[in-house]
Amino acid sequence: MVKDIDNCSAEQAQQRLNSLIKPQGSLGRLETIAIWLAGIKGNPVPQIGKKVVLIMAADHGVAREGITAFPPQAGNLMIKNFLHQGAAVNVLANYNKTRFVLVDVGLSGEAVSHPDLFVRRIRAGTRNICREEAMTRREAIAALELGIEIINKEIDAGATIVAIGELGIGNTAVSSAILACLSGRDIREITGRGTGLDDCALTRKQQVIAQALEVNRPNLIDPVDILSRVGGLEIGALTGVIVGSAARSIPVVLDGFVSSIAAWLACRMNPQCRSYLLASHLSEEPGHRIVLEELKLEPLLDFGLRIGEGTGAVLVFPLIESAVKIINEMATMDEVGIKLLN
């Protein structure tokens, strides 16, 4: 069950911000973030403690259709880079003192053995959605349940806010397929270049997505059916993370296109999840803007990022913590004896 946010605490946070030594509203989005956190935490002076970035990794059978600049087997190599602290998100997580959690929910090939990798494969990659459904409904539900399980363990261990990210060769194509189902938009409008496709490869990607939708014909009012027919295991797991976080009143910081697609699926399952989401940035993928507009989420940054992997989500943690510092530590007008003129 996902609770409504505490509007009373949010209103009290607004009143406190208005009483601080500054023109009302002059700190802009920092004030909005503080009010958002107050409503989630049920505390007009919210606190942020342990931070977690949770990365779900899986492979996609559709990557064999030549729609990505990377070979399908690149996932395992990228996992090893994560585990050697070589990715951008590793650097930012370390800098921001953020716990890094990496889960193999559905990579293919031989599993990597490492103490910092949770291997929880539901299947060894999805099937090729050009020819058949990505996974069974049971497997899709298992991915959702895994996400809920993982985030509950992190919350039980002290997590107070979670950033989400993903790793999956071909997952922008899969995300565009899901977006076509959720939005009804034209495939050419919502499909981007992913890892840097040229015009010919982009056209091929659009054709592959159209074929996948024709072959699988998802039930457009059933988010689990959409996920199972044209989705990905990492997207399902991230959807579960969002639902599980909202049920525990934990704020979720979204990364780019793929994690935002998971957010829309979560909101289709339970619209109250929307109140627990923060969009970190606007990516270069054209579909990302559409998803955020549909969710009525305004991104904090527009840095031209298109790397995924939770990078943008972790990047905004200092902004979130700054908002918390402002509402907790700035002096009020009364504390210094200032009276405003009427």
Binned at pLDDT 50, 70 and 90, residue 341 comes out as low
pLDDT of residue 340: 66
Distance, CA of 276 to CA of 224 (rounded, Å): 21
337's torsion region: left (phi>0), alpha (psi -120 to 50) or beta?
left
Residue 194 has pLDDT above 80, yes or no: no
309 tagged catalytic: yes
Average pLDDT estimate for 281-292: 95
State both tokens at 243: 């639902």
Binned at pLDDT 50, 70 and 90, residue 73 comes out as low
Residue 98 has pLDDT above 70, yes or no: yes
**50-319: CATH number:** 3.40.50.10210
Average pLDDT estimate for 252-269: 98
% of the chain beyond a pLDDT of 90 = 82
Residue 196 has pLDDT above 90, yes or no: no
Kindly report, residue by residue over 103-125, the tens digit of the pLDDT. Answer: 999 999 888 999 999 999 999 99
Asked if the 7-46+326-336 domain carries CATH number 1.10.1610.10, the reply is yes
Residue 87 has pLDDT above 60, yes or no: yes
Residue 325 has pLDDT above 60, yes or no: yes
Kindly report, residue by residue over 127-167, the tens digit of the pLDDT. Answer: 999 999 999 999 999 999 999 999 999 999 999 999 999 99
Distance, CA of 231 to CA of 180 (rounded, Å): 12
Are 122 and 143 in contact by the 8 Å Cβ rule? The answer is: yes
Kindly report, residue by residue over 300-316, the tens digit of the pLDDT. Answer: 999 999 899 999 999 99
Residue 37 has pLDDT above 90, yes or no: yes
Binned at pLDDT 50, 70 and 90, residue 280 comes out as very high
pLDDT of residue 202: 82
Token match 């729609």: residue?
67
pLDDT of residue 204: 86
Q: Mean pLDDT score of the chain, rounded to an integer?
A: 94
Which residues lie closer than 8 Å to 311 by C-beta, 6 or more apart?
A: 87, 88, 89, 92, 165, 255, 305
pLDDT of residue 72: 64
Where would I find the H helices in the chain? 7-19, 29-41, 74-83, 88-95, 137-156, 171-183, 187-190, 199-216, 223-230, 233-247, 257-269, 286-295, 311-315, 317-329, 333-336
Are 275 and 247 in contact by the 8 Å Cβ rule? The answer is: no
Binned at pLDDT 50, 70 and 90, residue 57 comes out as very high
pLDDT of residue 193: 81
Distance, CA of 175 to CA of 209 (rounded, Å): 10
pLDDT of residue 195: 66
Residue 67 has pLDDT above 90, yes or no: no
% of the chain beyond a pLDDT of 70 = 98
Indicate the domain borders of the chain: 7-46+326-336, 50-319
pLDDT of residue 59: 93
Q: Which of 65, 166, 284, 309 is catalytic?
A: 309
Q: Burial level of 175, CB count in 10 A (0-12/13-18/19+)?
A: buried
